[in-house]
Amino acid sequence: MLRVIGVGFGRTGTRSTKEALELLGFGPCHHMAELFAHPETIREWLRAAQGGPVDWSTLLAGYRSTVDWPSVYFWRDLIEVYPNARVLLTVRDPQRWYDSVSSTIYQGRSVDPEAAPAGLRQAYEARPELLDQPRLTEALIWQGTFGGRFADREHALRVYADHVAEVRATVPTDRLLEFDVAQGWQPLCDFLGVDLPAEPFPLLNTSAAFRERLVDPAGLHADR
């Protein structure tokens, strides 16, 4: 049963937030990285992206929280299916967000496995189920979210701003936390009603680290 639903776009500190939620006892947390750990689930996500029926209790079985794509694409459905879950909107400076996406996941964008970075190509060879992952990200992110126009900076920034505004307008304020990972533990722990942990707040998955994982197949699972 989901207890926390992340509704922030990828590259807004979602990898750090995943780690933080798991340290606080709200794990496992579903993040795009889970698709590489469990590629057998990608086909079901792709079916959902194509408008097929979704049994969320099955697709997210065992998870207590979500962040990042692919789940953020379905945030409207999830907040209704799990009405008692808290809603976490991760945010960052929009210009820095766009630069980060441009230099990381957009650079790795390809529906042709042969054109993918070396690390991804080797992962595809080891786990053929991963071949649907680029089609999923194309359907959900580059087409479904940005309408094939992510390269148009102003358009992408409008989509980002509109998403944040829609979440604010849709989710009751007592259910929603707007969170920048630079704020650290305090607002997140206050929101979730848990004690501050002894560990420093995790700050993971920088743009440089992401790019390194694209060329190092072992690194695709490195930050789990």
| H helical segments located in 89-192 | 94-103, 118-126, 133-137, 153-170, 185-192
Residue 144 is part of which domain span?
Answer: 4-221
Quote the pLDDT of residue 141: 97
Q: How far apart (Å, rounded) are the C-alpha atoms in residues 38 and 95?
A: 32
Q: Per residue in 55-72, pLDDT tens?
A: 999 999 999 999 999 999
Query: For 192-210, what is the mean pLDDT?
Result: 81
Query: For 11-39, what is the mean pLDDT?
Result: 96
Quote the pLDDT of residue 219: 39
Q: How far apart (Å, rounded) are the C-alpha atoms in residues 50 and 14?
A: 24
Kindly report the CATH number assigned to the domain that includes residue 190. 3.40.50.300
Backbone dihedral region of 147: left (phi > 0), alpha (psi from -120 to 50 degrees) or beta?
Answer: left
97 pLDDT more than 60: yes
* The pTM of the whole model exceeds 0.85: yes
Lowest mean pLDDT among 66-75, 80-89, 98-107, 177-186: 98-107
Q: Which of 85, 92, 46, 53 minimizes the C-alpha distance to 69?
A: 46
218 pLDDT more than 50: no
Structure tokens of 185? 């533990």
| Of 123 and 146, more confident | 146
Residue with tokens 């097929």: 52
**Going by DSSP bridges, is the β-strand pair 65-66/86-90 parallel, antiparallel, or unpaired?**
unpaired
Strand order in the sheet with 29-30: 29-30, 65-66, 4-6, 86-90, 176-179
214 pLDDT more than 70: no
Number of domains composing the chain: 1
Structure tokens of 143? 């087409």
